[in-house]
Amino acid sequence: MNYVHLGACIGDWDNKCGFTKFIKNNCSADDKIFLIEANPKNIIKLRKSYKNFKNAKIFNLGVSIKKNKKSSFFFTEDDAPHYKICSLNRDHVLKHYPNSIIKKFKIDTITINNLFKNYIKEKNIDFLSIDIEGIDYEVLTAINLNKYNIQNISIEHLHLTKIQKKNLLKYLEINGYSYCGFGYDHNNFDFLFKKKKIFFNRMFAKLLTIISKKHLHILNFFILKN
C-alpha cells in the first residue's frame, strides 16, 4: 500500500488527524507513507508523530499549481502551537484569523505531478488525502489521473464553491471515480472518492452542490461505501 498525505501538518501529535490515525491503524511495515508539509514549524512534531514508522518519508515542501522554485506561504502565530492554517493565499488565513497579524515565509514548492514523479515515484497510490488550505480543488484537478492510478481520494470540501463541487464531481466521474461519503478528516470536512463506478452514488452525489452540512450526513447514510 502507498499512502500520500498532502498537508500532513503535525500528524496526530494533538490526537486530531483522522488520516494519520487511518494510516497507523491500517499500514504494515511493507507499506510506504509519504507526508508533505509546507510549514517548517510543524516538521519536528510530524516526525515525532511518526517516530515508530520507519516507512514514513517526510518532505518539507509546498504544493503549488505554478512551477515556482520558491513561493510565499502565509500563517499567524495565533494558530500556535499547532500551525494548521498555512496557505499560499493570504486571504485564506485572514478568513480564519481576521484580527491576527499575518506572517509569511518562503519555501520550495512543486507541482503535484512533479511531486509524484520526483519524490513519490509510485504510479499506484492506494490512499491520497488532500488538505492544503485553499488550493485543494486546483491541485486535485491538475493530477494526471491517466498516469497515476489513485484508488481513494479524500479532499477537504469546506472551502469549495458550488461550481467547484460540480466541476470536481464531473472531473472525477470522467476519470472513473464515485463519491463514497465522508473522507478521513475527523471533523467530516472531507469528501471521499473511490476509483469505482457506483451509479447509485453518482446519482445522489449531484445533491452535494445544494444540500447543507446537516443534510450531507443524511445523504451519506444512503451512500454505498464500497
**pLDDT score for 69:** 81
Return the pLDDT at 215. 85
| pLDDT value for 11 | 95
Displacement of CA 213 from its chain's centroid (Å): 19
Per the confidence metrics, is the pTM higher than 0.75? yes
pLDDT on residue 30: 95
- At residue 100, the pLDDT reads 97
What count of other Cβ atoms lies within 10 Å of the Cβ of residue 4? Answer: 26
* Residue 108: predicted pLDDT: 94
Domain boundaries, the chain: 2-64+111-222
Third-level CATH fold of 2-64+111-222: Rossmann fold (3.40.50)
Angstrom distance (rounded) from CA 48 to CA 10: 9
pLDDT for 59-117, tens place per residue? 999 999 887 788 999 999 999 998 999 999 999 999 999 999 999 999 999 999 999 99
What is residue 67's predicted lDDT score, i.e. its pLDDT? 79
Which uninterrupted H or E stretch holds 202? helix 199-205
Tell which residue, 172, 174, 209, has the closest CA to residue 194.
172
For residue 33, give every residue at least 6 positions away whose Cβ sits within 8 Å of its Cβ, in sequence order, or none: 3, 5, 23, 27, 50, 53, 55, 56, 57
Query: What pLDDT shows up at residue 98?
Result: 96
- Which residues of the chain carry a pLDDT beneath 70? 226
